């Protein structure tokens, strides 16, 4: 595996006389110096992101209907990731989320949609095999990295994809799915969603318990993002393998927001040797941002009702655009670093990673972290907080590889 080039560290040492144990003390460099080192770091170190919604964005462009291949290779002004921006940011393995909206639980077609999204990811790889590759294990990602290929591992978001058939867990594992988020926006057959107040099962359903055991048996990572606290603790009790929140942030910063993980849950995840992959959306990382967003939604809804308009009416779209331009909240990339730092201070450096939710949180992303080209800005913020090169490697990929390999080891038993 490549290391940061010695010349880079020579430059850094000439920038600052700060050095401890033979390593640059990033915290004592200037912001400009840290950014340059962060850029080199991301390009020479494997960088894994636990969750991106690119497949569903591709689906919404209609490419699957027309037969055209989505242009992932060239720079785009749409969405948060393409090949060019991924390479600029040093991203090596963005997990492709096979996202199943909760509506498919009621109208049917969840498995069919999952198959379609998987096919679309596979088609990207078959179209550009000199630049892209699938990945079903840490070894695959390491080999792809050595060969200069961008890995596209896959995970299912919302176990509604397996419908009511336990055998579909194995079906999707064989298709390359390596984690599954148990719920999404509503309770499903597996368990209860943090976005749903119904508490249909009061945690995991009996079927959900079977699903957890089957995922352990196969070596599929259990993703606990989106589930209720009760559901989480059921999973923690039943799973014999480490568990992961692939795209959640810290509830300490957003009190009452169950979608984020509490300190108690973070401790339990660490106890099970799992990890929390911090997500980037503004409402996830900053309470003030979330409250202002809610205030804006309330105002716009009241204005629409008062004027008898729908959101898609031209007059409404103009008003909303102008209003949001004047009232949109902002949050800085440093806030994401604070969430990472909270987990580290609570349970240690071994239990945290990155899970952006790019292409899944719209235009709510922090300043300095708007797309996949901007990971160096986050790395620089962590350097500013005093994180070492070894710490950063753990956050970027080593922690996730450890967990993934542990899940595989449980399956082998």
pLDDT over 50 (residue 8): no
pLDDT over 50 (residue 11): no
pLDDT band per the 50, 70, 90 thresholds, residue 62: confident
pLDDT over 80 (residue 194): yes
CA distance 356 to 71: 21
pLDDT (mean) for 161-189? 98
CA distance 381 to 37: 12
pLDDT at 204: 98
Residue 64 tokens read as 């699957």
Residue 177 tokens read as 């799915």
The single-letter DSSP state of residue 26 is G
- Helix, strand, coil percent content, the chain, rounded in steps of 5: 55, 15, 35
pLDDT at 182: 98
pLDDT (mean) for 321-339? 95
Give pLDDT tens digits for 77-135: 999 999 999 999 999 999 999 999 999 998 999 999 999 999 999 999 999 999 999 99
Which are the contacts of 159, defined by CB distance < 8 A and separation ≥ 6?
A: 180, 181, 182, 183, 188, 189, 190, 208, 211
**Which range (60-64, 83-87, 199-203, 320-324) has the least confidence?**
60-64
Q: How many residues does the chain have?
A: 413
CA distance 154 to 279: 17
Helices of type H across 205-244:
206-218, 229-238
Residue 344 tokens read as 């580290």
> CA separation (Å) from 35 to 2, 30, 128, 297, 374?
19, 9, 31, 36, 10
CA distance 297 to 266: 31
- Average model confidence (pLDDT) across the chain: 93
pLDDT over 80 (residue 322): yes
The single-letter DSSP state of residue 94 is E
Handedness of CA 343, 87, 181, 174 (dihedral sign): negative
pLDDT (mean) for 276-302? 95
CA distance 193 to 187: 5
CA distance 147 to 134: 13
pLDDT (mean) for 350-357? 98
Give pLDDT tens digits for 334-343: 999 999 999 9
When comparing pLDDT for 345 and 6, which is higher? 345
> CA separation (Å) from 23 to 7, 8, 178, 326, 410?
13, 12, 36, 45, 36
Question: Are residues 279 and 247 in contact, defined by beta-carbon separation less than 8 angstroms?
Answer: yes
Q: How is domain 46-286+331-412 classified at the architecture level of CATH? A: Alpha-Beta Barrel (3.20)
Q: In percent, how much of the chain has pLDDT > 70?
A: 93
Helix or strand or coil: residue 120?
A: helix
pLDDT over 80 (residue 4): no
CA distance 205 to 200: 9
pLDDT over 60 (residue 56): yes
């Amino acid at each position: 595996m490549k290391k940061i080039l010695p010349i880079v560290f020579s430059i850094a040492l000439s920038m600052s006389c700060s050095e401890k144990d033979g390593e640059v003390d990033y915290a004592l460099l200037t912001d400009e110096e840290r950014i340059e080192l962060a850029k080199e770091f991301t390009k020479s170190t494997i960088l894994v992101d636990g969750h991106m919604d690119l497949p569903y964005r591709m689906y919404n462009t209609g490419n699957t209907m027309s037969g055209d291949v989505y242009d992932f290779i060239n720079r785009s002004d749409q969405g948060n990731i393409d090949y060019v921006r991924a390479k600029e940011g040093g991203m090596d393995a963005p997990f492709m989320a096979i996202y199943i909206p909760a509506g498919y639980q009621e109208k049917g077609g969840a498995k069919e949609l999952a198959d379609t999204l998987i096919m679309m990811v596979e088609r990207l790889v078959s179209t550009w095999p000199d630049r892209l590759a699938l990945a079903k294990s840490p070894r695959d990602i390491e080999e792809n990295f050595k060969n200069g290929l961008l890995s596209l591992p896959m995970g299912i978001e919302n176990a509604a994809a397996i419908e009511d058939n336990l055998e579909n867990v194995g079906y999707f594992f064989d298709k390359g799915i390596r984690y599954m988020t148990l719920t999404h926006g509503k309770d499903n057959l597996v368990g209860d969603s943090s976005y749903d107040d119904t508490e249909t099962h009061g945690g995991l359903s009996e079927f959900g318990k079977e699903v957890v055991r089957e995922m352990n048996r196969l070596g599929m990572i259990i993703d606990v993002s989106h589930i209720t606290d009760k559901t989480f603790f059921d999973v923690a009790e039943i799973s014999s393998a480490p568990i992961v929140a692939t795209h959640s942030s810290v509830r300490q910063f957003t009190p009452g927001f169950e979608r984020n993980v509490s300190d108690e849950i973070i401790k339990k995840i660490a106890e099970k040797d799992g990890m929390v992959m911090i997500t980037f959306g503004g409402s996830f990382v900053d309470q003030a941002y979330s409250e202002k967003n809610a205030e804006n939604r309330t105002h716009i809804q009241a204005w629409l009702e008062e004027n008898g308009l729908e959101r898609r009416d031209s007059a409404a779209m103009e008003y909303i655009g102008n209003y949001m331009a004047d009232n949109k909240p902002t949050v800085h990339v440093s806030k994401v670093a604070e969430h990472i730092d909270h987990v580290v201070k609570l349970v240690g450096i071994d239990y945290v990673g990155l899970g952006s939710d790019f292409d899944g949180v719209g235009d709510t992303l922090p300043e300095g972290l708007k797309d996949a080209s901007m990971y160096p800005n986050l790395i620089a913020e962590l350097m500013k907080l005093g994180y070492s090169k070894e710490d950063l490697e753990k956050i970027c990929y080593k922690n996730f590889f450890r967990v993934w390999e542990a899940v595989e080891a449980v399956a082998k038993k």
